[in-house]
Structure 1
């Protein structure tokens, strides 16, 4: 069975053997899985952190989005205090903001937000960009690397504090410090 979502370019396919994570990504996903267990054990974590259940049967035509797809297979969406990563189910409903971005809207896929500003993947390069809008409604962008780099350094690592104001009062960052990820 295949279901294609034309707006996102993602496809769901039933696999006989379940999902797989590429060898390159396995250490990262093992660490995130441990963090998911930690979050589930803390009653207050629902306020600042949540990792969704994976969608192991996703398949995609676009290889530039492969790293993002691997994340959705294992963790379908996430809330990491000020960083939200959309679940597959909600991707289509979040694509309305990309019309104002540089280049063609077909170049971008909004995959989440940071402090309510769009977080997108360039469909040509696979890189994550964080767009911010100033008071003159001019969009500026910052390249945060490929999806795994973004996860390792900005969501689960030391660079989280580069994008979050007053990070030392942030519950997510406190968790990263507690498990010694904020120092890596």
Structure 2
């Protein structure tokens, strides 16, 4: 995990803890797990995330702690046939959920996949299963802790407001004009 993302997670954790118990209903970022408690068969990016935060509740996102990861692997068995996930289950890991829908990482490439909510159909009835980011860091930085949350979550919930208070909802600096 890149150092900037680690630092951001630590800062947001501190701010959330300062406002507890009010924040517990919609966000919580746990302290990291000791490295020796994280299974070695997890993809390295997931291991690094768990070392940084052993469980994250961030609005519509739920990225479980080490102890709860096995509890969400059942999604792999429920994946629609067209995804190919059930044909090679060892290549995939469900690392969390978005609105109770699975978020998967491909073990060999590190790419993050999900079912975009373009319809009201249940996730397992949708016909799109997309490679949303090439790696977990990009996913976390943009969708969980950045402007992309408004695209996949809710741009009017408490997490979005929290991100906005921390100036994390605007697109990247390349789109901003500077005043001289």
After TM superposition, is the score higher than 0.5?
yes
Do the aligned partners of 1:83 and 1:115 also contact (CA within 8 Å) in 2?
Answer: yes
Match of 2:16 among 39, 59, 77: 39
Following TM superposition, the consecutive aligned residue runs of length 4 or more in structure 1 with deviations greater than 3 angstroms are 132-136
The Cα of 1:131 is off from its aligned counterpart by 2.8
What count of residue pairs does the alignment treat as equivalent? 157
CA displacement 1:99-121 (0-9 Å, x = unmatched): 23322222211111101110111
Deviations, residues 27-69 of structure 1 (Å, cap 9, x unaligned): 110111011000001131111110122112236356xx21221
Unaligned runs of at least 5 residues, structure 1 = 1-21
Structure 2's unaligned 5+ residue stretches are 173-180
* SS class of match (1:112): strand
TM-fit CA distance, 1:124:
1.7
Which residue number in structure 1 is paired with residue 125 of structure 2? 137
RMSD between aligned residues? 2.0
| Residue 182 of structure 1: how far off its partner (Å) | 1.0
Per-residue CA deviation, residues 48-95 of structure 1 (Å, 9 max, x unaligned), is 110122112236356xx2122101011011000110001111111111
**TM-score (ref. length: structure 2):** 0.79
2:151 to 145, 151, 162: 162
Partners of 1:122 and 1:100 lie apart in 2 by 16
Structure 2 equivalent of residue 116 of structure 1: 100
What is the TM-score normalised by the length of structure 1? 0.78
Measure how far apart 1:140 and its partner are. 2.8
* Counterpart check, 1:97 vs 2:75: yes
Alignment partner of 1:60 out of 27, 33, 40:
40
Greater strand content? 1
